[in-house]
Structure 1
């Protein structure tokens, strides 16, 4: 990212170079006028031709070629990794046997699953932005753990340093074990709407093959559950949110969970979402590399 910022900072200097040539152009026009006194139109034409050629001769940024080569290398590596992968069974089974229609627009972060159930329209959405946030948080936690051990080593003696290094190694191994066994929690936004009857908006988490409901909202106007219009968002925020799901009567919680399961919010969905998010993020990353590389080389 710093390389891209450097290119952006260099761009104004590149664009400014032709202006440094203008005084010289003016001198040429002045001497020519003294010798032959060309017409005003001829002078303007010569000036335009000189200015255009100056822009064409403007050199590219010094780091462009190196950056493009690095992007190509990264693209080749990621493509080779992708070629060896197979479609996860959770994705294949869900798409082939599920009742949801998938809407995934390339270049967009959000993914939508829709289906009809009787007179109801059901929409389940999730975003790969959550994956980036999750990875960033884990990176920050790992850095904090490393800094803490570095501080302990600096303040203690050699024995303390050895102990701190051993603890850090153990912690790293534990983190790797947890990464292998724990799936990333994926946020789901579930909307069940009926014509002229409003909508239920359910916030839930999909993790380790289970769906954990966090909140259940009701909106008299179903648009409040979908629209990103500022007025609609404000109206949704002003609506009574309902009690925390975990504070409801246990039997009521169970029945609401069964209600969602009948509509396709099942363990199969909980397995599908994390795997699909990971696959989509990889596709979007490859597309990003292609786009940035194409831009740099243009």
Structure 2
């Protein structure tokens, strides 16, 4: 995922960068347009670069900054394209696109991706965003207390009860980012209402968080301040996990019948990862074209 790839990107760059160089700007958090859950902490938020260049000006007065910047952008593009060539696209992406009833709607330059399909008389739209992977910090889900803040006897007890925790912790660091899904189910011509389900795709599973019912489906579809306020005013229902277990099971089966299943849960994080790299390369090229104009 992005965290692993950032390490790969950083390795060749350290040959030409001074100590303390930060990861590229895409790791800075940006808000998702449809996420209802609390924002994930931004990756390395304290690494903002100071703009002051006074100390270096005496050595760089004769440098053509535009030319140097263009060359640096070229270098970054080459690094990213080399990574892209050496990385094989996950089989899950092709398998899903070839065999799934969903149609992919991916606009170059946009963060949000959509999957659409018809099911009987229903129209289903699933939205997700690459912002979730750029915002992801693999260490953010650690315990609220650091080990040195916990009582020593508590730490010893945990180690005795869970001797494999150290290994599990290493595995968690390699776990993919949770990708938020906004699932909109409409019945055009039959009812004006719509179900909007907030869920998360992670580790090959779809986890339902909340279910909303909108009496007017356009409130869920339209992206405007007025519609956002109306969505915020709608009663969200209780947390999905607090519902009767039979109701939870039936709702999960309801989604599975519509193709919202393990195959989708594997596809979404892999596709987000691939799109994030494509968008970063596109961004680099656009900036270089502007600088060179």
- Which TM-score applies when normalising by structure 1? 0.67
Q: Distance in 2 between matches of 1:173 and 1:290?
A: 41
Q: Distance in 2 between matches of 1:286 and 1:176?
A: 30
Equivalence for 1:279: 274
Equivalence for 1:178: 172
**Within 5 Å, which residues of 2 pair with 1:164-243?**
177-180=171-174, 182-195=175-188, 196-243=191-238
Q: Which secondary structure does the structure 1 equivalent of 2:135 belong to? A: helix
Equivalence for 1:98: 100
Give 1:177 deviation, angstroms. Answer: 3.6
Deviation per CA, 1:165-222, whole angstroms, max 9, x where unpaired? xxxxxx9997654233x22211000010112331000000111111000000000100
* Unpaired segments ≥5 residues, structure 2: 1-24, 26-47, 54-61, 150-164
- Which TM-score applies when normalising by structure 2? 0.68
Q: Distance in 2 between matches of 1:65 and 1:79?
A: 21
Distance 1:3-1:215 versus aligned 2 partners, 3 A rule: closer
Q: Distance in 2 between matches of 1:224 and 1:230?
A: 11
- Within the candidate set 262, 271, 290, 1:267 is matched to 262
Q: Which secondary structure does the structure 2 equivalent of 1:240 belong to? A: coil
Bigger radius of gyration among the two = 1
Q: Distance in 2 between matches of 1:119 and 1:87?
A: 34
- Within the candidate set 111, 114, 120, 1:112 is matched to 114
Instruction: Give the RMSD, CA atoms, in angstroms.
Output: 3.1
Distance 1:6-1:289 versus aligned 2 partners, 3 A rule: farther
Equivalence for 1:31: none
Q: Which secondary structure does the structure 2 equivalent of 1:234 belong to? A: helix
Q: Distance in 2 between matches of 1:140 and 1:119?
A: 42
* Unpaired segments ≥5 residues, structure 1: 8-59, 153-170
Distance 1:279-1:193 versus aligned 2 partners, 3 A rule: same
Give 1:272 deviation, angstroms. Answer: 0.1
- In the alignment of these two chains, the number of paired residues is 222
